[in-house]
Amino acid sequence: MTDNKFLTQFENRQIARKDWTHEAHVRMAWLYVARTDTYSQARSKVRSGIKKLNNAFIAQQNRPCGATAPAEAAAEPAAEPKPIGFHETITTAFVRLVAARSKPGEKFGNFRKRNPDLFDRNLSAILAHYSPALLFSEEAKATFAQPDREPLPKPWLAATPSV
């Protein structure tokens, strides 16, 4: 699937739950990092996109068998104050690591080959920075926690383009 098609499916919440893998998470973060001018823009798009997709999965799960949602409900699932499955520290740390390791103009396949630890479902790239006790705490899930092992790389600080 092309990057454009993948990102469109993600943004329209059309990715099947079975296809929303760890690699898909990393690919989505890499695409936003590659396509935005600032770290804060990329992080914001990643965070809001994951929350919206999680809410869409929850809405699908709560429908009775065979039921379909009205078109407007499918387009904008009800917001949930604390999305299930969303982890603030893991999300933010991954965006920072992806941003720090990305090279301008690089294709995703090359990025993947250079960064196998980012694709490790055991989160080895993150656990180099966080102890399991901190990373898997409720506090780290709800709000960004600073690493207790190695500092995360600094996000790039490009100025936000004027509109």
Tokens of 127: 């656990």
**Rounded CA separation 32/5 (Å):** 14
Q: What is the pLDDT of residues 50-108, one digit of tens each?
A: 999 999 988 887 765 544 444 444 445 544 444 457 999 999 999 999 999 999 999 99
The stretch 13-33 carries a mean pLDDT of: 95
**Rounded CA separation 90/58 (Å):** 20
Is there a contact between 20 and 60 (Cβ–Cβ < 8 Å)? no
Q: Which residue has the higher pLDDT, 81 or 28?
A: 28
**Rounded CA separation 53/22 (Å):** 14
Which sequence spans correspond to the domains of the chain? Answer: 3-142
Please give the model's pTM, rounded to 2 decimal places. Answer: 0.81
